[in-house]
Structure 1
Amino acid sequence: MITNKLLKIGFLTPLLVIVINTVAFCNGDQQDKLWYKHAAEYIKADEIMIQNAIEKKETFLEDYDLRDVATLKLINAPSPTISVLEKLLKSKNAQDRKVALVNIMVRNIYSENLFKTILGGYDTNDDFFIRFYRYRCFKFLGKDKIRHFEDKFLILLSLENNGSIIISAMPTLIEIEPSKVIPFFVQYFKSSDRGLRLASYVYLKRMGEGYLNDVKSILEKENAVEALNFIKEAESGKKPSQRNEKEK
């Protein structure tokens, strides 16, 4: 009996240590780090900026400065390790995930496994900033690195319906094989979201005039009149009119 008890204790002790360490990690060890605190300040500044924009307050410059200060403080703080970032990305705590994404985004941190984790944890129910920052992390990657993730990236982007988040993905979108992204731009031009249409026009122009013509040809075949009128107005230099109804 005593031997059995000792064996059980010997088995359970390392297990308890693992559990305790895991709980300690999740319960705030990282939150005391400067890189965590300053990333949280960055997130808060973004939240304030968007809220003030919604309320039509004329505080953009002040709000931008607030985020700029947080950015500088974050850059000058010691960097978290990739293993810590991976743990935060898998956390059930939304703030942990946002902090990890902001650190990756601001510091241009890269590892293939890290970015697989970013895409692997996608959930359409995640809050706005998790989804927004996720796509922003890919902005600094070159074509060679993006190629490793582009199929998964496009699958997830196809599930996204928030115009602002889609726009945040466009710098990466135009680095992907054009034949794969043209259908996305066709759909975006057919959207009722004026900002999304404008961004689509701007980024397609960056890709090249030929790709914009390809999109126009598809829209003509689909008789997407409103989308074509929008592009025509944009090309003429006029302010494109806003549509209220989404084209089918």
Structure 2
Amino acid sequence: MAAINFPFGASATRRAPDADELANGFGCGPADKELFDWLSWWFSGQIDGVIEGAGLTTDDADLQQLLKAIQRLARGMAAVYATPGTFNWVCPAGVSRVSVEGWAGSGGGGGSGTSASSAGSAGGGPGYFKGWYDVTPGVTYTVTIGAGGAGGVGGASPTSGAAGGTTSFSSFATATGGGAGIAGNGSIQLTQAAGGTASGGLINHPGRTGGLAVAISTTILHAVGGGGFASSNNFVQATGGSNNGLAGGIFGGGNGGVLGGNGGAGWPGFLSLEY
């Protein structure tokens, strides 16, 4: 039953307390060792179950192991995915329900032309979901993390940015990436990048649209990237000359480039899984 070895509970013969002992206490006699061995066996099984339930391997020499197991179970287990790509999560034994939240990748800002007043629009913010899902131990579930969109290239023939990639947890929930910022050439780009969307979560939150540049006299304020749920604000940029847009802040789209500058890259997707 248990892998813990109590030196005083090693006899082959053990018995549970009878009804009279449970009601009236234990007398003295040769049966005491059998009863004590049963209690040792029972307690060792309970302790070993807690340790293994926390994902640890029982070690008789580690006197802190039960404490470690309780601390680990109290704070829960988690898997975090912050790198774009596709991954496999295998549901551990004893786990039947998980909490998952995910952000898609944010859009990259548009590049800008070199002529006067050229400014690209900013990338859109990512879709976000959070939900609780029933899972089966031993089954493999696919996790996909969307990349942040690349910023557009500035110059005589500027290019638009790229949209952010999709983040998903198996077939349960999906968040789409923020839209691409559009290049501006000869004027301020007035087309805003769309925010991403989400589905399948108990909470589904869309990303914000990307911002537009503003001209104030000879100064141009860069288009600021759209944010997602719980995102940090992108920095506002002001310039009187060529300047690259800043990359998106946490879960934010990239700023647009100005007067020949490149657009900023969008923030990549993210997913956390707790059980």
TM-score, structure 1 normalization: 0.25
Instruction: Report 1 or 2 for greater relative contact order, CA contacts < 8 Å, sequence distance ≥ 6.
Output: 2
More strand by share: 2
More helix by share: 1
The structure with the larger Rg is 2
